[in-house]
Amino acid sequence: MCHQNDAETALRIEREGEEDELYVCGECARRERVRRQKKSQRTRKGGDGLPPGVSISVSGVSSGGDGEPPPIFEAIVNAMNGLVSDLEKAAEEAKKTEKEQKLVELSCAGAEAPFRIGTMLHLEGLHLIGEIEAVGRAMKALRLELVGVDADGVRCAGHVYRVFHEGKPELARRVAEDLVREERNARVRLFEEMPRVFGDSLCRALAILKNCRLLSPGELFDLLSPLRLAAQEGMLDGIDIAGVESLISSVDLSSKEDNETQEARDQMDAERADEMNRRFEDVVLNERAEERFL
């Protein structure tokens, strides 16, 4: 295709309704694969589908001729939003304080690197095969707690978990080791027996990162979780495991953006989405992954 390098592989293409076979170099084959995947995942024509100089932002819902809601309606909504938010925060703080007084966290920093993020266990495999809830119930029976991270409305974002115990660190340590073993088995099962399940999670995450218009930190962290597994298995072109983990470590899961105005939050989410659109534009499944998932 480039007429410069020696042919290394065969590539099948369709021309005028008929399938043809070309012998191309490795780089041309890679570029064609990127082009096909970008086309199959595209939801917008051209760039963002808007005329030059036109942009769209989402900053809330309004009605009326001047674009502003009636003052009484706005006052009621703001009051209710503030009340619900304060109640939720108070309940969460009370729950957190009670748990901290009762339970002790076990650091999982010693677990194998592929199965943890920081000091938390990364259990994406158990989640995808549908076993994570059963694991949680089993731990409760042992008077242990498996606690995920809730951020920006996303429950158990990224499926990373902390392990808490009631003063029995040895029991908690043994259970954490068992969890790592079961997570390893779950990932093998995903790749070998349930490739459609893993492929669905991976392709959905890639499609959203390429095309989303608003993206919160919690959503980003959650989407990077299946990509971490794929990168560990060498299934992606355009980003490696170091790149994925660098993005993961940069995500702030404190939900501090909740303190901003809706307009400011939308702006930050829009900028984050644009950044990820650019970063993942040329990230695609490699040939090995295509054989399994496409």
Give the pLDDT of residue 66.
55
Q: Counting beta carbons within 10 angstroms of the beta carbon of residue 209, is it exposed (0 to 12), middle (13 to 18) or buried (19 or more)?
A: buried
Closest CA to 159 of 189, 138, 188, 179: 179
The residue type at 247: L
Residue 273 contacts residue 213 (beta carbons within 8 Å) = yes
Task: Bin 11: left if φ > 0, else alpha if -120 < ψ < 50, else beta.
Answer: beta
Alpha carbons 257 and 88: distance in angstroms, whole number: 16
- Give, in order, the Cα–Cα distances in Å from 5 to each of 2, 26, 28, 170, 286: 7, 9, 9, 60, 21
256 Cβ contact partners less than 8 Å away, ≥ 6 residues apart: none
pLDDT of residue 10: 77
One-letter amino acid of 231: A
- Euclidean distance between CA atoms 165 and 223, whole angstroms: 29
Q: In this structure, are strands 236-237 and 284-285 parallel, antiparallel, or unpaired?
A: antiparallel
Rounded to whole angstroms, the Cα distance separating 275 from 213 reads 10
Instruction: Tell me the average confidence (pLDDT) per consecutive run of 10 residues in the chain, 294 residues long.
Output: 80 70 81 73 54 47 52 61 65 61 89 96 98 95 95 95 94 96 97 95 96 97 98 96 97 91 95 98 92 79
Radius of gyration from C-alpha coordinates of the chain: 23
Q: Which residues contact 221 (CB under 8 A, 6 or more apart)?
A: 149, 151, 154, 157, 158, 248, 251, 253
What pLDDT is recorded for position 56?
A: 45
